[in-house]
Structure 1
Amino acid sequence: MSDLKEEGFKTSDVLSALAGVFDKMPDKEKQAQIKKTNGIFQLNVKNAEGKEAVWVIDLKKEGKVTKGPVKKPDVAISLSDDTFIGLADGKVNAQKAFMTGGLKVKGNVMLATKLDGVLKGAKAKL
């Protein structure tokens, strides 16, 4: 999924890998993940240069990762490129990042907590 790549963002590598996991996932497994998560996550990621890129993880209908904002995500998460990489690696605690302002959430905060499980599950499949 090279169309997910964004120059200067480490996040794009992780999300490209996640998209690959979704693409290879058997349909039954993908439907179970969609049913379990039931949400659309919009990630607004800012890199060290202050440039922002937006990705969307759709685990409500299609089970895929796309680039660019959507009209009504269930949850919009704003964070830095480094914070996202830390979350994906399991080195950063999402609650701690939220409490210290390193991660901002608009929309369904409880749904945002499910993203951690999605990232960990995908990492296990890589």
Structure 2
Amino acid sequence: MTEADLSEPGFEGTPLLNFMKDVLEQEPKLRKDSVKKVKARVVLTLRNKENQKKSWFFDFKENGTVEKIEGDSLPKNDVAITMKDTDFLKLVDYKVQAQKLYLNGRLKVKGNLMKAISIETILKAADPRPKL
């Protein structure tokens, strides 16, 4: 596994991406389950308050890893998700549902929508907060 930091200045959601990367690296069962359940390569592109874009690559097809994408060229993927950084924070913090963001046009999905939905199970499994 790489020790690369996923943080990006100006993007408030990047600590959550680093946390997810760390959990996947430290929990082989979760990593294996993420590949088994999602079976997709996902690109997440966030847009910050200054309208800058940055993307991260989730390989849930082969090895259950998360990497920051350098440059504008996106790797081959099954699903591409685009949203505001602030909406990503709300989504991960359970303040808004992905379906609501999608229906309101605030979360855009290109590719296999069902695979995009399956990512939510991985986010919940990596969440350290007690389940209600």
Normalization by structure 1: what TM-score? 0.91
Match of 1:114 among 118, 125, 129: 118
Percent identity, aligned pairs only, is 37
Match of 1:87 among 91, 114, 122: 91
Task: Tell me how far apart the structure 1 counterparts of residues 59 and 13 of structure 2 sit (CA, whole Å).
Answer: 16
> Aligned pair 1:53/2:54, yes or no?
yes
Closer/same/farther in 2, CA of residues 32 and 125 from structure 1, 3 Å limit? farther
SS of 2:9's partner is: coil
What does residue 16 of structure 2 align with?
Answer: 14
- The CA deviation at 1:32 is 2.6
SS of 2:95's partner is: coil
Task: Tell me how far apart the structure 1 counterparts of residues 76 and 129 of structure 2 sit (CA, whole Å).
Answer: 29
- The CA deviation at 1:62 is 1.2
- The CA deviation at 1:2 is 5.0
CA displacement 1:79-108 (0-9 Å, x = unmatched):
000111111111111001000000000000
- The CA deviation at 1:70 is 3.8
Q: Return 5+ residue gaps in structure 1 as ranges.
A: none
CA contact (8 A) 1:37 1:114 kept: yes
Runs in 1 of length 4+ with deviation above 2 angstroms? none
Normalization by structure 2: what TM-score? 0.87
Matched residue count: 125
> Aligned pair 1:62/2:63, yes or no?
yes
CA displacement 1:20-74 (0-9 Å, x = unmatched):
0011013x44223211111111011000111110001111111110011543211
- The CA deviation at 1:122 is 0.8
What is the CA RMSD across the aligned residues, in angstroms? 1.7
SS of 1:73's partner is: coil
Task: Tell me how far apart the structure 1 counterparts of residues 32 and 120 of structure 2 sit (CA, whole Å).
Answer: 18
- The CA deviation at 1:124 is 3.1
